[in-house]
Structure 1
Amino acid sequence: MRKLILLLFCFLLIIPSEAWGDTTENGLQAAFIRNGYLWIKIGVAEEQITAEPGEFTNTPKWSYDGQWLLYEKEAQESHSPDMENRTEIWVYNVKSKKHKRIFQGGGNAKWAPSDYRIAFTSNGVLNISDLDQFHNIALGVDDYNWYPDGKSFIVSSSAVLKPDGWTSPTLYKVQLPAELENMNLTHHVKPFFTIPKEIGSGNATIMSINATALEFSPDGKWISFIVSPTASLAMDSDMVCVISSNGKNFEVLDEMILHLDVPKWAPGRNLLGYIAGGGRIVMGFKNKKLKVAELPAFKTLNLTPAKFAEMGFTWVDNERLVASRVDESEWSNDPQKRPEPTLCLIQLSKAQQTRITYPKNSIGDYNPLYLKTAGKLTWIRKKLAEQKGDLWIAELSGKNAKLWAKDVEKYSFYENSGQKSGS
């Protein structure tokens, strides 16, 4: 009997520790770009799913059930000499391991909330594909998003320059008919809201040219979006805005910049998180504060302590967030002298903020992403100037941190609840 127990004990010592890991971690499903190829990783198994290198123009996106992957890449050669957009839209089926091209010359593709339809734009035209054929939906579209029920779109048209100056960007609601064959490109479109030609917050004012990053609140009663001026000015000053779902209440919340992080709603409350502050990063790691606005009260809470700046964030639940935070400092042309961020856990209901990651000097933790169904925190560990980095995973407390995938660029996770997350 003693020999049997001893043998069993030795057997347990030989088994790799990973075999006794958290089963939720073993079920993680992600897609990412690595060295010009598209990869998926399910559990511990990595698989390269594209055979030729390419330029991927957007983050890969999982369908609502995780069976399909949507991705966009530059075409090897243009099918038409006058084609402006050479981006191809593809899907990949996880079970059959087959790829299918949906469209060439389109982009900004997004899955419907609960089926296999894909919306995308091409030369200002909004379209829907059922993976076999596509239908034109609306004209003059700059950006868009599905309504949560998948039966309508909120779309924006950009301002245009006329002899007497710029027009205003406008929001529209596009109602889908029961049969897309009956779609009329103008009859199903209703004006939703005309954005004022100039908007501002505090001492900052911008021309309103584009409205992008349209997102619905958890209860569907509010829509957040970013209003930007012309391209060069948009590097330094944009405005995060909200509007009620009936189009009657419009508010400019704060100044922000593009290229750090987009506004994000809490999972189950009308709390909008965003990084406030104008001025591109090369003007200094400063004036970038993580704020949370509560709607419809329009109460705003600043979560960033003095002498710190934020680079990105993720919601954990309705009461907690994780921020990618740096010490305030001036910009340096020497990459070794630039501050690199660490991750900090923030609790709204308490005056409590805790640093949870400790990367080595001259490297930082970016793009935090909390995976609700797995109960894990993920992030990219890299240098600011680098496009790719290593994907790490840990407990929310930062404990048991480990490398999950190397040399990752654009990536997204599928969660069994039907939520897709990515960066």
Structure 2
Amino acid sequence: MVIRTIIVVLLISLNFSMVASAEAPLKAAFIRNHQLWLKEGDIERQLTVGRNVSYPKWSYDGRFIAYLDGDEKPYLYIYDLKKKENYQPYIVETRNFKWSPVSNQLAYTDDGVLNVTKTKNGQPKGFDNVSLGVSDFEWFPNGKDFIVSSQANLLPTGWQPVHLFKVPVDANLDTSKIKPFYTIQTNPNDLFAIDAVAFKWSSDGNWLSFLAIPTASWSMDSNTLCVLSSVGGDFQVIGKMLEKGDWIKWAPTKNQLAYISGEGRFYVDNKNTTVTDIPTVSEKKVYTPKGYVDLDLDWLSPEEVIVARAKENKEWKLGAVPTMFTSLYVINLKSNEQTQITHPKKNEMDDAPQVVGHKITWYRNTEKHNKGEVWVKESKNGVERLWIKSVDSPATFLTSRK
């Protein structure tokens, strides 16, 4: 009987150990002193020297990290983790590049031309032209097509509509392969926009969210969040918000959209976490309490959202814009229970929450914004711990693909 009990205990312990170790260690690209670094588990490695790195992005399978080098003229580079080398897929200046959701193919825009990389010896290298007249784009979930926006033209009679197109990856500038997807009819007194940006697909690929952008000065204060069905038949206006693509997040398992609503370019007030079902069949629900602002968010679970929250500052009118000292809160969408889960020190702030598997990560920095740190909690009730010191900006985590 004693032996049987010992065996049972050992089996339970082994099973627990296997479950605990099933989740891979955190893996993130980050920038320190303008250079690209990699951290996996507890091991850090510097990947570049003498560069000015920004916007690292992981490839589909995690073999490659694309990034920009330069400030005024940012050029596209790729780091190959397998061959441990930096290279240029082609000498191109760009600010807009995105990996395919199904392969190690990289798409980017260059002066309104959409291009995709070829493959040479297993690496993305060289390019094919896809389409002209492109403002912004996103891959379709199948990796075979793009949704593409084209900025409206100003005529003597006013602004033209904003056009969206469905463009196959192999279009090669053949306009006969490019099909109109949806036309956004605009009106200065209703939905006024001259462009569409920040495309994001729902988890099942049936809906596409994006921001309809008005002219430059206006867009600093107010943009229109819209959704469109994957076949281009159902278009809905959701609400007003700033031009912040990171403030729009689809739920992980259902067609529900969380975003930070509110107009006004300053973060001192009127920034509210809002959640709505798509298609919108009920009223949107606002979760930010009065007297507070939410300035970033991510989904923790199908019923919980993490937000970076600070007290509003309506008293500010002139002078330097005040720093908003945010902490992370978890909102339960069913019960409306809201719990603070991080406690930065005075003059520190926690923002850029990212959920990676079951872990919660965020960026902690100070009022001076010189350097920050990446922190981690194993769960919302876990103990926070410092994971990466002295970083220039939030880390970019490698997340599992479906």
What TM-score comes out, normalization by structure 1 length?
0.83
Aligned Cα root-mean-square deviation (Å) = 2.3
Whole-angstrom distance in 2 between the partners of 1:213 and 1:336? 26
Query: Does 1:411 find its partner at 2:400?
Result: no
> Structure 1's 253 and 44: CA in aligned 2 closer, same or farther, altered over 3 A?
same
Structure 2 regions of 5+ residues with no counterpart?
A: 1-19, 119-123
Query: Does 1:392 find its partner at 2:375?
Result: yes
Residues 112-169 of structure 1: per-residue CA shift (max 9 Å, x gap): 1121111100110111102122111111011110010101111101112223222121
Contact 1:304 1:310 survives alignment (8 Å): yes
Structure 2 residue aligned with 1:132: 125
- The offset of 1:320, in angstroms, is 1.0
Query: Among residues 173, 176, 197, which one is paired with 1:187 in the alignment?
Result: 176
Query: Does 1:154 find its partner at 2:147?
Result: yes
Whole-angstrom distance in 1 between the partners of 2:286 and 2:188? 22
Query: Does 1:218 find its partner at 2:206?
Result: no
Whole-angstrom distance in 1 between the partners of 2:292 and 2:101? 37
Whole-angstrom distance in 1 between the partners of 2:334 and 2:232? 31
Identical aligned pairs, as a percentage? 37
Structure 2 residue aligned with 1:48: 46
| 1:22-37 matches, cutoff 5 A | 23=21, 27-37=25-35
Query: Does 1:95 find its partner at 2:79?
Result: no
Residues 358-387 of structure 1: per-residue CA shift (max 9 Å, x gap): 111121111111111xx1101011136626
Whole-angstrom distance in 1 between the partners of 2:310 and 2:390? 23
Query: Does 1:383 find its partner at 2:366?
Result: yes
> Structure 1's 334 and 383: CA in aligned 2 closer, same or farther, altered over 3 A?
farther
> Structure 1's 46 and 335: CA in aligned 2 closer, same or farther, altered over 3 A?
farther
Whole-angstrom distance in 2 between the partners of 1:379 and 1:55? 20
Query: Does 1:310 find its partner at 2:303?
Result: no
Whole-angstrom distance in 1 between the partners of 2:322 and 2:106? 44
> Structure 1's 314 and 217: CA in aligned 2 closer, same or farther, altered over 3 A?
same
What TM-score comes out, normalization by structure 2 length?
0.87
Whole-angstrom distance in 2 between the partners of 1:338 and 1:410? 18
Name the aligned partner's letter for residue 384 of structure 2: A
Residues 87-133 of structure 1: per-residue CA shift (max 9 Å, x gap): 21111111221112013223311111121111100110111102122
Name the aligned partner's letter for residue 167 of structure 1: Q
Whole-angstrom distance in 2 between the partners of 1:325 and 1:60? 26
Whole-angstrom distance in 2 between the partners of 1:329 and 1:266? 30
Whole-angstrom distance in 2 between the partners of 1:23 and 1:314? 25
Structure 1 residue aligned with 2:241: 256
Whole-angstrom distance in 2 between the partners of 1:234 and 1:71? 27
Structure 1 residue aligned with 2:16: none
Structure 2 residue aligned with 1:359: 344
Whole-angstrom distance in 2 between the partners of 1:195 and 1:298? 22
How many residues end up aligned between the 2 structures?
374
Tell me, what secondary structure is at the counterpart of 1:132?
A: strand
Residues 317-353 of structure 1: per-residue CA shift (max 9 Å, x gap): 2111100011121347788964401110111122211
Query: Among residues 297, 301, 308, which one is paired with 2:285 in the alignment?
Result: 301
Structure 1 regions of 5+ residues with no counterpart?
A: 1-21, 76-84
Whole-angstrom distance in 1 between the partners of 2:179 and 2:237? 23
Residues 214-244 of structure 1: per-residue CA shift (max 9 Å, x gap): 1111121111000111222211011111011
Query: Among residues 225, 230, 235, which one is paired with 1:245 in the alignment?
Result: 230
Tell me, what secondary structure is at the counterpart of 1:198?
A: coil
Name the aligned partner's letter for residue 151 of structure 1: K
- The offset of 1:257, in angstroms, is 0.6
> Structure 1's 328 and 86: CA in aligned 2 closer, same or farther, altered over 3 A?
closer
Worse-matched range after superposition: 102-111 or 126-135 = 102-111
Tell me, what secondary structure is at the counterpart of 1:241?
A: strand
- The offset of 1:39, in angstroms, is 0.8
Whole-angstrom distance in 2 between the partners of 1:137 and 1:301? 41
